[in-house]
């Protein structure tokens, strides 16, 4: 699909308006001038990119699409200038920017002057993102070289065409330099998706629907003004008197207990999962979603038996950055059996990633809500805990180590786990008494929240999240940050 056909498929009919002006004069030599003339005759374009604006689902966006038939979609001085101007105009007009590269990289006929265009384009994209405006990259076949190593890899979201060749070093160059072909299956959209470098693989004909979902997820419900400032909802009655902490530990480990994915399905709409390849990121969910009409970034630890390792923590940090860059509220859902304990995790910087997650959250300027949904074991739980407001399901708990592990440290066996759970004050109501949790949500009688999964979650935890989002998003930023600083300073001190 050439650039024009792709834009016709992507944009609402008849809405594209070109931003392109005549290409810059690069004073080509005779051979290069002939190449340019042939490319212009073949494609009907002046250069290897098309830029402009149009509508997707009625929402105005800026677009920049490569035309691979024009000298392999290569980027020279003229194309670099067109791209930079388009991104700068999108920033000035506060439009989401959709880039659609298909390129072999730098235009060799122009040498170093073309090579450094990647700096110019990257600077424009970075300024666009610094203005808290959406930047999406759709990697087409092929996307290689300097293009892949610059503006094609800077998206808040990165999407790829099925079967696309995507890689830094083109296979022809690799073979010429190394005398053997590049291994098959590495530089493909599907493989990059599996390794978490691409968020989704989407066919060109389905791209408009996908991007419309993204734009919807990032838009406050039409006609819904920001909620008026209101007092935080009072804690619900969650009677835990006389109920041992060990009961909560056992309940959160029940296979039937709902997890983060269940909560997101029940409480959120217009959900766009990110980085969901076949290889699990330690059970971590990252998604754009609307909760109560409020666009937000959701980071959730899901119940799949996986410990949280460095890769999952890096994905969580990506979600924190995404919320900051797009100025969206951040919701974290905590339900983890703990951090990965292995030599590989140690060597990959597990402790450092936990520390970085904590630092990112405590310095994050946007509204934040954390929900302790089930197991809250160790540093993996603590990494996603800091927030403006923290909610907890009635039987959720938080401990420095799984009770069995704590028992092994104190008593040199695991049989004292129930006693340690009681002594450590891990129950939701104990956490509320220490100011760690602001609100405890009662669970359905007789067991888990999932007696009627959709209805119970939507009514209870979903309603609580909506109420808290309405509150924190309406607060004055400086006042909210000052209150958060006081909250963190007093954590663990009896109220």
Domains located in the chain, CATH noted: 3-217 (3.90.226.10), 245-489 (3.90.226.10)
Cβ-contact 355, 382 below 8 angstroms: no
> How large is the average pLDDT for residues 145-169?
95
d(CA 392, CA 255): 19
Residue matched to tokens 């119970």: 456
At 222, the pLDDT band (50, 70, 90 cuts) reads low
At 495, the pLDDT band (50, 70, 90 cuts) reads low
Q: Which residues pair with 370 in a beta bridge?
A: 332, 390
At 305, the pLDDT band (50, 70, 90 cuts) reads low
Could you tell me the pTM of the whole model?
A: 0.91
Model confidence at 283: pLDDT above 70: yes
d(CA 390, CA 371): 6
Model confidence at 453: pLDDT above 50: no
d(CA 392, CA 370): 8
Closest CA to 243 of 407, 404, 421: 421
> How large is the average pLDDT for residues 214-237?
64
H or E segment and range at residue 361: helix 350-363
Question: How crowded is the C-beta side of 180, counted as CA atoms within 13 Å?
Answer: 2
Q: What integer best gives the mean pLDDT of the chain?
A: 89
Q: Give CA 10 to chain center in angstroms.
A: 23
pLDDT of residue 195: 87
Q: How many residues does the chain have?
A: 495
Residue matched to tokens 């203005």: 131
Cβ-contact 337, 305 below 8 angstroms: yes
> How large is the average pLDDT for residues 379-392?
96
At 221, the pLDDT band (50, 70, 90 cuts) reads low
d(CA 63, CA 101): 11
Q: Is 375 exposed, middle or buried (0-12, 13-18, 19+ CB in 10 A)?
A: buried
> How large is the average pLDDT for residues 368-384?
95
d(CA 97, CA 87): 7
> How large is the average pLDDT for residues 241-265?
87
**DSSP-H helix ranges across 16-135:** 30-43, 77-92, 111-115, 117-130
């Amino acid at each position: 699909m050439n650039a024009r056909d792709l834009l016709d498929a992507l944009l609402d009919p008849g809405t594209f308006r070109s931003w392109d002006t005549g290409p810059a004069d690069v004073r080509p030599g005779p051979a290069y001038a002939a190449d340019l003339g042939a490319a212009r005759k073949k494609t009907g374009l002046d250069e290897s990119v098309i830029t402009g604006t149009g509508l997707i689902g009625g929402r105005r966006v800026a677009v920049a699409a490569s035309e691979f038939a024009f000298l392999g979609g290569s980027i020279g001085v003229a194309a670099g200038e067109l791209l930079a101007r388009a991104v700068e105009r999108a920033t000035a007009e506060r439009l989401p920017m959709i880039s659609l590269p298909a390129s072999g990289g730098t235009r060799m006929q122009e040498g170093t002057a073309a090579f450094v265009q990647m700096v110019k384009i990257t600077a424009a994209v970075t300024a666009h993102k610094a203005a808290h405006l959406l930047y999406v990259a759709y990697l087409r076949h092929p996307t290689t070289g300097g293009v892949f190593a610059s503006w094609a890899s800077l998206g808040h979201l990165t999407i790829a065409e099925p079967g696309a060749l995507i890689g830094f070093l083109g296979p022809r160059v690799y073979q010429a330099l190394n005398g053997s072909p590049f291994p098959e299956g590495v530089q493909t959209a599907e493989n990059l998706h599996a390794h978490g470098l691409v968020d989704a693989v989407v066919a060109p004909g389905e791209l408009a629907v996908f991007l419309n979902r993204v734009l919807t997820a990032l838009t406050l419900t039409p006609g819904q003004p920001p909620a008026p400032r209101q007092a935080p909802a009072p804690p619900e009655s969650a009677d835990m008197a006389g109920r041992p902490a060990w009961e909560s530990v056992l309940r959160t480990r029940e296979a039937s207990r709902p997890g983060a994915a269940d909560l997101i399905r029940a409480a959120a709409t217009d959900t766009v999962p990110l980085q969901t390849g076949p290889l699990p990121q330690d059970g971590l969910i990252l998604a754009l979603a609307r909760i109560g009409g409020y666009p937000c970034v959701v980071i959730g630890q899901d119940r799949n038996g996986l410990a949280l390792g460095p890769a999952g923590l890096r994905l969580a940090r990506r979600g924190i950055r995404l919320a900051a860059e797009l100025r969206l509220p951040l919701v974290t859902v905590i339900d983890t059996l703990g951090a990965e304990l292995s030599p590989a995790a140690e060597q990959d910087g597990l402790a450092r990633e936990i520390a970085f997650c904590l630092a990112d959250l405590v310095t994050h300027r946007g509204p934040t809500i954390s929900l302790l949904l089930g197991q809250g074991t160790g540093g993996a739980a603590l990494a996603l805990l800091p927030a403006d407001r923290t909610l907890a399901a009635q039987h959720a708990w938080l401990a420095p180590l799984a009770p069995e592990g704590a028992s092994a440290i104190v008593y040199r066996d695991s049989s004292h786990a129930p006693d340690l759970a009681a002594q450590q004050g891990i129950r939701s109501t104990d956490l509320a008494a220490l100011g760690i949790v602001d609100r405890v949500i009662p669970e359905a009688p007789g067991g888990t929240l999932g007696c009627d999964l959709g209805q119970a979650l939507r009514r209870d935890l979903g309603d609580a999240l909506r109420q808290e989002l309405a509150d924190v998003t309406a607060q004055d930023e400086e006042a909210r940050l000052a209150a958060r600083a006081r909250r963190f300073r007093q954590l663990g001190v009896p109220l």
